[in-house]
Amino acid sequence: MADRTIPYDIVREIFSLIPPEDVTTISSCSMTSKLYQSLMQKILFNTVELEYAAQHDFDVKSSSCLSLTDGQENSRTSKLDDSLASNPKLSKYVRNVTIRIKAPEGARGIMERPQAPLISKLAHVLARLSNLSSFQVISTSNLDIPFQWYLPSIQEAIIELLSRNTALADVNLCGLFDVPASILRYLPNTYSLTLSSLISTDPVWHSVNRAHLPGTEISICRPKSFCVLASDSVFRGDEEFDGILNALTGRQNGSTTPELKHQSSLSFSELESLEVPRRGKNPNDIISLLGLVNPKILKHLQIASPIAASQYYEMSPNHQLPPLGNLISTELGLENMESLSTFTIHGSIQFRNPFTGRGPQGQAQFFNGASTDMMWISQVINSLPHPPTATHDATASNSIVDLSLRVVFEVDVMLATGLFNFEVFDFTPVVQSLKVKQHQWRSRTAPHLDLIVCDRECEFRCLGLTNSDFGRKRFWSVDTIYSALNCNPSLQFASDSEKVMLRVVDHCGGV
Residue 195 has pLDDT above 70, yes or no: yes
- Say yes or no to pLDDT of 87 above 80: yes
User: What pLDDT does 507 receive?
Assistant: 79
pLDDT at 356: 57
Q: Give the burial string for 439-471 (b: 16+ CB within 10 Å, else e).
A: eebebeebbbbbbbbbbbbbbbbeeeeeeeebe
Contact 194, 171 (CB under 8 A): yes
Q: Are 302 and 277 in contact (CB under 8 A)?
A: yes
Measured distance CA(263)–CA(179) in Å, rounded: 17
Q: Rounded mean pLDDT of 469-477?
A: 65
Q: Tell me, what's the pLDDT at 355? A: 53
Nearest to 421 by CA among 372, 464, 363, 357: 372
- Looking at residues 155-161, what average pLDDT do you find? 93
In this predicted structure, the answer to whether residue 510 has a pLDDT above a threshold of 80 is no
Which spans in 384-427 are helix H?
420-424
The C-alpha atoms of residue 49 and residue 14 are separated, in whole angstroms, by: 24
Q: In which band, very low, low, confident or very high, does the pLDDT at 391 lie, cut at 50, 70 and 90?
A: very low
* 220 has pLDDT over 80: yes
Backbone angles phi, psi at 47, to 5 degrees: -125, 125
- Which bin fits 250, alpha (ψ -120 to 50), beta or left (φ > 0)? left
pLDDT at 253: 46
pLDDT band at 376 (very low <50, low <70, confident <90, very high): very high
Q: Work out the number of other CB atoms within 10 angstroms of the CB of residue 15.
A: 17
Range with the poorest average pLDDT among 35-49, 182-196, 234-248:
234-248
Question: For 384, which DSSP code?
Answer: S
State the Cα–Cα distance between residues 463 and 142, nearest whole angstrom.
Answer: 7
Helices (DSSP H) in 344-383: which residue ranges?
374-382
Cα gap 8→420, rounded to integer Å: 66
Angle in degrees, CA 46, 80, 26, rounded to 5: 50
Is the pLDDT at 429 greater than 90? The verdict is yes
β-bridge mates for residue 266, sequence order: 221
Instruction: Examine the pLDDT at 205 and tell me if it is beyond 60.
Output: no
Reported as a single tens digit per residue, the pLDDT across 339-375 is: 999 999 999 999 876 655 555 666 656 667 889 999 9
CA atoms within 13 A on the CB side of 79: 9
Look at residue 479 in the predicted model and tell me its pLDDT: 92
Start-to-end C-alpha separation, the chain: 61
26 vs 160, higher pLDDT = 160
Maximum average pLDDT range among 103-117, 236-250, 369-383, 392-406: 369-383
CA–CA separation, 80 vs 57, rounded Å? 23
Average pLDDT, integer, range 57-69: 54
Q: Which of 383, 381, 382, 378 is nearest to 322 (CA)?
A: 378
**In the predicted model, is pLDDT for residue 194 greater than 70?**
yes
Burial 212-229 (b: 16+ CB within 10 A, else e): ebeeeeebbbbbbbbbbb
**Lowest-confidence pick of 226-235, 259-268, 429-438:** 226-235
Give the per-residue pLDDT at 436. 92
Distance CA 433, CA 269 (A): 30
Kindly state the DSSP code that residue 316 receives in the 8-state scheme.
Answer: -
Half-sphere exposure of 327 (CA within 13 A, CB side): 19
Q: Which of the pair, 263 or 371, is modelled with greater confidence?
A: 371
Give whichever of 54-63, 84-93, 186-195 has the largest mean pLDDT.
Answer: 186-195
Q: Does the pLDDT at position 4 exceed 80? A: no
Task: State the maximum Cα–Cα separation within the chain, in Å, rounded to a whole number.
Answer: 106
- The phi, psi pair for 172, rounded to 5°, reads -125, 110
Are the CB atoms for 457 and 476 separated by under 8 Å? no
DSSP-assigned beta bridge partners for residue 344: 302, 406
| Kind of pairing between the strands at 225-228 and 300-304 | unpaired
CA distance 424 to 492: 13
**Could you tell me how far CA 47 lies from the centroid of its own chain?**
21
The percent of residues in the chain predicted with pLDDT above 90, rounded, is 37
Q: Is 398 exposed, middle or buried (0-12, 13-18, 19+ CB in 10 A)?
A: exposed
Residue 399 has pLDDT above 80, yes or no: no
For residue 145, what pLDDT is reported? 80
Identify the three-state secondary structure at position 372. strand
Q: Give the residue with greater pLDDT, 238 vs 484.
A: 484
Under the banding of pLDDT at 50, 70 and 90, the label for residue 29 is: confident
CA–CA separation, 455 vs 463, rounded Å? 13
pLDDT confidence of 2, banded at 50, 70, 90? Answer: low
Per residue in 402-424, is it b (16+ CB within 10 Å) or e — as a string? ebbbbbbbbbbbeebeebebbbb
pTM, two decimals, is 0.84
Of the two residues 203 and 54, the one the predictor is more confident about is 54
pLDDT at 103: 64
Q: In this model, does residue 161 exceed pLDDT 90?
A: yes
Using pLDDT thresholds of 50, 70 and 90, give the confidence band for residue 20: confident
pLDDT in tens, 301-340: 999 999 999 998 877 767 777 777 667 888 999 999 999 9
pLDDT for the residue 472: 56
- The predicted-structure confidence for 106-154, as pLDDT tens digits, reads as follows 444 455 554 445 457 888 899 999 999 999 999 887 777 888 888 788 8
